[in-house]
Every structure is written in structure tokens, then in C-alpha cells.
Amino acid sequence: MSPRWTTADISDQSGRVAVITGANAGIGYHTAKALAERGATVVMACRDGDRARRAAQTITTATPIAVVGLDLASLASVHDAARRIRERYDRLDLLINNAGVWWPPYTRTEDGFELQFGVNHLAHFALTGLLLELLLATPASRVVTVTSLGHRSGVVDFDDLHSERRYRRNTAYAQSKLANLLFTYELQRRLAADGAPTAALAAHPGGARTELFRDASPAFRAVNAVIGPLFTQPPDAGALPTLRAATDPHAPGGGLYGPSGPGQFKGSPVRVTSSPASHDGHTQARLWQVSERLTGVSPVTAPGRV
């Protein structure tokens, strides 16, 4: 393996099935492309099927890329997508919870959740739970959830999860990205305790130049265009932490991968640390219970008891 981990370090993925949410653009697209080029059967789970199909057509591989409609702002859509994946495939090696929204105007999902918390965390919690049967039936399978540096300022406000009292875009985003890590660590704890063949990991892209900034103000985008290159990297580099978490045979369950450079903004993907808040066991367990109640999905992590 080279000192600087790249896509060249990804082993042959032939015979493996990978479901990637939000795979039609940005980090998700480059994750899908790299896995498909190594032989994986890639399923793009995306809200816009036409965009996903156009994106899939730009990736030339021996195995066709499949597209499944998935609107993470609708639990009904999450259930439908999971059902179609279960019907179509008898194994699932990789579930990559990649899609996300960043700083939108205050919006509710179809089910009444604040959009960032609903899409970034709750929908992926539900999707993972609904696909765990396939994951548990597949040796050495992994769930990789994409978080953000924004988790560092995150606090889970259990008294106002959906920002009904006060909405601050950055606060709600940070909460959702902290939730990604709390979920990952609690999922890994439960999987390990039940002797499951599946591992849960997380990754963050550092500062990656993607479409995530589309809801930012014109002033923010103007400033970012000038100073962004100093602290950001292109989306293909931003995808490397996800790819390493998904494919490195030495990546441990519960591991978080991100860029190696100062502040974890840029650089080769390595194992990194997350905020102390993300390791709070009480908050992890409480968020899991609340997520079960809100989504109606209770993930079963014990093999043979799905």
C-alpha cells in the first residue's frame, strides 16, 4: 500500500454490492465511480432518477450501474427504496449513507421533521435499519455514514430536535452531523455486542467543493470562491475518506476517516478523531431510542434475529 492512500489502493470489488445515497453528484458520484471501476455492483439511491441515470452513463464499467429512487425527505420513499433493494439483491456489502443537505431555509420533511435532521440523520437511520437483514447476511459488510467537520460544534437538543422554537441553519446542520457519528458509534457497539459480521464506520470529506453550498447566501458563495481553495479540495479527493472506510481491510468498526492535513480540511485519508460529544454513550443510546420512535424503524443487529 502506498504511503498516501488513493483509489489505486482499493482492492478488486467484483461480486460486491454497494448502495450509495446521493450518488449522482459530488462526493457520492466519485465514490460510486471508484467502486464501479473496481468491479462493484453499484446502486445509486437518489431523489432525482434522471440525474442519477445521466451520472451513471458517464461511468464506463463492465457492470451496469443501477438506480433506485430515494427521497430522504420521505420515510415512505425510504421504505419503498429499501424494499426494492431487498427484492433485487441477495447480498449487500456496502451501505454508504452519503446524501445530505446543508443550511437550507427552514423546511419540514414529509413526516414533519426539520429537513437537515430528517434527511441527514433520521432517513439514513431508517434506511440502515431496513437494510440490516441484507447486511447481516453478507460477510464483512459495512455501513459507512458521511459526517462533517461541522459535527464539532454540534449539540443534540432533545427538547427541540426540529428547531420549532428557533431555527439556525448552522446549528441544525451541526446537530445532524453530530447525530451521524452518535448513530455510527452506537450501531457499532450494538453490532459488536451481538457478534454481527457487519461493521459501522464514518467518514468526513474535510473541506470539499461540492453542490452542498447551493443553499448558502450569495455573499457566502462569493467569499468561498476566493478563499475556498485554501481550505478545500475537489470532490474526488473528498471521496477518499469514504472509500477508505468502505474498502480498507484494516479499517476498524467504529473508525472515523478524514483528511490528514491541518484541521482535517485537506490531505490523504487517515483515521481521525471526533469531538468528545460524539463519544457520549448516554447521548448515543438516547438518540437511538428517539430515532426508533420518530421513524418507526427498530434496527435489529443480531444475526439470525432480523
What gap in Å lies between CA 210 and CA 225, rounded to an integer? 12
Distances (CA, A) of 153 to 149, 176, 178, 279, 296: 9, 11, 8, 14, 28
Name residue 142's beta-bridge partners: 94, 199
Give the DSSP H/E element, type plus range, for residue 37: helix 26-37
Q: Rounded distance, CA 275 to CA 52, Å?
A: 34
- The SS3 call for residue 167 is coil
The residues, ordered by sequence, that sit 6+ positions from 88 with a Cβ below 8 Å of its Cβ are: 66
Q: Is 173 labeled as catalytic in the residue annotation?
A: yes
Three-state DSSP at 199 gives strand
- Active-site residue, from 29, 173, 185, 257: 173
Distances (CA, A) of 189 to 113, 129, 131, 283, 284: 27, 15, 18, 13, 10
Query: Minimal CA–CA distance to 203: which of 140, 142, 151, 145?
Result: 145
Q: Check: CB of residue 22 under 8 Å from CB of residue 99.
A: yes
Active site residues: 173
